[in-house]
Homo-oligomer: A and B are copies of this chain.
Amino acid sequence: MKKMIIKELLGDYKKILHHDITVQGWVRAFRSNRFIALNDGSTMANLQIVVDFENFDKDTISKISVASSLKITGEVVESQGSGQVIEIIAKKIVILGDNFTEERDKTILQPKKHSLEVLREQAHLRFRTNLFSAVFRVRSAVSFAIHEFYNKNHFFYINTPIITGADAEGAGEMFSVTNFDLNNIPRNEEGEIDYTEDFFGKKTNLTVSGQLEAETAAMGLGRVYTFGPTFRAENSNTTRHLAEFWMVEPEVAFNNLENNIDLAEDFLKYVISYVLKNCAEDLEFLNSRFADEQKQKPEKDRAKEGLIEKLENVIKKRFMRVSYTEAIEILMNSKENKKGKFQYPVDRWGIDLQSEHERFLVEKHFESPVVLFDYPKEIKAFYMRLNDDNKTVAAMDVLFPGIGEIIGGSQREERLDVLKAKMQDMNVDEHELWWYMDTRKFGSVPHAGFGLGLERLVLFVTGMTNIRDVIPFPRTPKNAEF
User: Chain A interface (Cβ within 8 Å of chain B)?
Assistant: 3, 5, 7-8, 24-27, 40-42, 67-69, 71, 96-100, 103-104, 107, 109, 122-129, 132-133, 136-137, 139-140, 143-144, 147, 151, 154, 156-166, 173, 175-180, 182-183, 185, 193, 199-202, 204, 206, 213, 216-223, 228-229, 231, 233, 235, 243-244, 246, 253-254, 414, 435-436, 438-446, 471-473, 475, 477-482
Contact = CB atoms under 8 A, between A and B. Distances in A.
Contact of A140 (B7, B144, B158, B183): B158
Given A161-B480, A213-B124, A441-B103, A182 B177 contact: no
| Number of copies of this kind of chain in the complex | 2
Contacts of A439: 124
10 contacts: A41-B156, A98-B443, A99-B441, A107-B442, A124-B216, A128-B219, A177-B206, A201-B480, A213-B482, A228-B229
A270 B428 CA distance: 46
Given A7-B154, A137-B156, A107 B42 contact: no
A217 B103 CA distance: 20
A392 to B, nearest CB: 23
Contact of A219 (B107, B127, B223): B127
A160 B246 CA distance: 11
Contacts of A124: 213, 216, 435-436, 438-439
A243 B123 CA distance: 29
B100 A442 contact: yes
A162 B162 contact: yes
Contact of A24 (B173, B445, B471): B445
B443 A99 contact: yes
Contacts of A178: 175-176, 178, 182
A248 to B, nearest CB: 13
A442 B40 contact: no
A228 to B, nearest CB: 7
B222 A41 contact: yes
A414 B71 CA distance: 15
B161 A68 contact: no
Contact of A481 (B100, B132, B165): B165
B180 A99 contact: no
Contacts of A3: 254
A477 B442 contact: no
Given A124-B435, A244-B163, A442 B104 contact: yes
Given A122-B435, A201-B478, 9 more contacts: A5-B222, A41-B221, A42-B223, A67-B442, A99-B442, A100-B442, A144-B147, A173-B179, A217-B472
A298 B471 CA distance: 53
A358 to B, nearest CB: 27
A284 to B, nearest CB: 18
Given A185-B182, A473-B213, A443 B96 contact: yes
Nearest to A254: B24
B42 A200 contact: no
Contact of A202 (B107, B163, B233, B480): B480
6 closest A-B pairs (Cβ-Cβ)?
A: A127-B220, A41-B222, A69-B443, A97-B444, A201-B478, A200-B480
A445 B97 contact: yes
Nearest to A225: B140
A216 B126 CA distance: 9
A125 B69 contact: no
A482 B435 contact: yes
Contact of A136 (B213, B221, B243, B253): B221
Contact of A161 (B157, B244, B478): B244
A415 to B, nearest CB: 9
Contacts of A216: 124-125, 127, 482
A128 B220 contact: yes
Contacts of A136: 156, 158, 217, 221
Given A8-B154, A183-B193, A165 B443 contact: no
